[in-house]
């Protein structure tokens, strides 16, 4: 049964930015407009909803953005939204603007905000469905195999590390590279496998310096390797500290590189553009089909939508099998 009540959709990006957010905004706006639904862009995430910071979006306003990193709607973190009063202001803004459906593009925090908002809306008896679209380079959303931005960030890191590898190989050096991932090692492990890292440190696996670094370097050395690449997820430790310890304990002087925010930028890959386009399209369809309060996800390549509450209770564990693959492909000698 269609929900003919939806006449105007508000779309926002919130939390950490991810390449492909623009493609998702474009997909939401174009899908909505082509179905005769108005679109309002809410700027700076949840804070824009509180402050009435918005822009009317037409088809042209999302032209030439599918290939751009960042987000034309800006993104922000909004402590005020943690509070009922802040969310009450956001609901008032929606009423004032005549918004009767929201698409929130972001990560776990953005969706927790969305859930808090939907609960408060339900208490007030008002009808305002919210649909979340997962966009984070960490790929750590439980209900979705894939999140927008991961592929671009991984490829950026891989390209940077390939460049480092050339110089490390020439000088027969050790490189320690820190990639993003405060709580999740999906990016670090994917990148580590792809660059042929000597070792990868991830938050999901307690770091044992002797086992995970000393032994790995020793073994690779015995197999004839003269350069070593250690990839560290930021949540597994500081690359600078690990570099120092390698110097102190092994006697080699590593070069440390923290890739940082460079991983968040750049033109989104085809995978991110295409996934964002499908997710944005399905987010609008969910609103129009009266399936509000949902989170969009991917499952075996297809787009699905799940109840927001259930989706947020889901946990995605890193497959330790991938760690085994990494280890199986590292040169080792005795």
- The residues annotated with a catalytic role in the active site are 138
Nearest to 93 by CA among 34, 45, 33, 32: 45
- The whole-angstrom separation of Cα 137 and Cα 153 is 6
Q: Give least dist CB 310 to ligand ADP, A.
A: 17
Judged by CB under 6 A, does residue 74 bind ligand ADP? no
Segments in the chain forming alpha helices (H): 21-34, 45-51, 84-97, 108-124, 150-171, 186-195, 209, 215-222, 239-250, 270-288, 308-313, 320-328
105 SS3 class: strand
Span 111-170, contacts to ligand ADP by CB under 6 A: 112-113, 116, 136
Distance of CA 74 to the CA centre of its chain: 15
Segment near ligand ADP (CB under 6 A); pick from 77-85, 121-129, 193-201, 291-299: 77-85
Q: State which residue, 296 or 326, has the beta carbon closest to ligand ADP.
A: 296
Please pick, from the candidates 10, 69, 107, 292, the single residue that binds ligand ADP as defined by CB under 6 A: 107
Closer CB to ligand ADP, residue 134 or residue 292? 134
The position carrying tokens 């509070």 is 83
Minimum CB separation of residue 136 from ligand ADP in Å reads 5
Q: How far is the CB of 81 from ligand ADP (least distance, A)?
A: 4
Strand partners, 200: 231
Taking contact as CB under 6 A, which single stretch among the options 100-108, 189-197, 288-296, 323-331 is the one that binds ligand ADP?
Answer: 100-108
Q: Give which of 244, 232, 175 is closest to 207, Cα–Cα.
A: 232
The residue among 138 and 282 lying less far from ligand ADP, judged by its C-beta, is 138
Interaction of residue 263 with ligand ADP, rule CB under 6 A? no
Q: Please state, in angstroms and as integers, the Cα–Cα distance from residue 92 to each residue in 80, 85, 122, 129, 165, following that order.
A: 15, 11, 14, 15, 54
Nearer residue to ligand ADP within complex by CB, 116 or 262: 116
Burial class (CB in 10 A: 0-12, 13-18, 19+), 174: buried
> Which residue among 13, 14, 225, 277 contacts ligand ADP (CB under 6 A)?
14
Q: How far is the CB of 248 from ligand ADP (least distance, A)?
A: 36
- Contact set with ligand ADP (CB under 6 A): 14-16, 46, 77-78, 81-82, 106-110, 112-113, 116, 136
């Amino acid at each position: 049964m269609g929900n003919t009540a939806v006449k105007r959709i508000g779309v926002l990006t919130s939390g950490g930015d991810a390449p492909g957010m623009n493609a998702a905004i474009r997909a939401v706006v174009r899908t909505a407009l082509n179905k005769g639904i108005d679109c309002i862009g809410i700027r700076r995430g949840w804070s824009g909803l509180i402050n009435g910071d918005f822009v009317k979006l037409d088809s042209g306003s999302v032209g030439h953005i599918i290939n751009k990193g960042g987000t034309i709607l800006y993104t922000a973190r909004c402590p005020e939204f943690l509070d009922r009063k802040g969310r009450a202001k956001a609901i008032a803004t929606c009423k004032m603007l005549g918004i009767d459906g929201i698409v929130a593009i972001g990560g776990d925090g953005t969706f927790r905000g969305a859930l808090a908002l939907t609960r408060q809306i339900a208490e007030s008896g008002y009808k305002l469905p919210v649909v979340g679209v997962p966009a984070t380079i960490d790929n750590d959303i439980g209900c979705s195999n894939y999140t927008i931005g991961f592929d671009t960030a991984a490829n950026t890191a891989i390209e940077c590390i390939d460049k480092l590898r050339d110089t490390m190989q020439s000088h027969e050096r050790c490189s320690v590279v820190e990639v993003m991932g405060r709580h999740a090692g999906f990016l670090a492990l994917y990148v580590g496998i792809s660059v042929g890292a000597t070792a990868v440190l991830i938050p999901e696996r307690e770091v044992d310096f002797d086992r995970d670094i000393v032994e790995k370097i020793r073994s690779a050395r015995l197999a004839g390797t003269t350069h070593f690449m250690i990839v560290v997820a930021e949540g597994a430790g500081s690359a600078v500290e690990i570099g120092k310890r390698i110097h102190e304990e092994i006697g080699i002087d590593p070069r440390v590189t923290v890739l940082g925010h460079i991983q968040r930028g750049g033109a989104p890959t085809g995978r991110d553009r295409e996934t964002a386009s499908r997710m944005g399209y399905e987010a609008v369809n969910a609103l129009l089909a009266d399936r509000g309060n949902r989170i969009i996800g991917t499952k075996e390549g297809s787009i699905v939508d799940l109840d927001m509450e259930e989706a947020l209770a889901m946990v995605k564990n890193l497959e330790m099998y991938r760690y085994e693959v990494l280890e199986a492909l590292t040169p080792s000698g005795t």
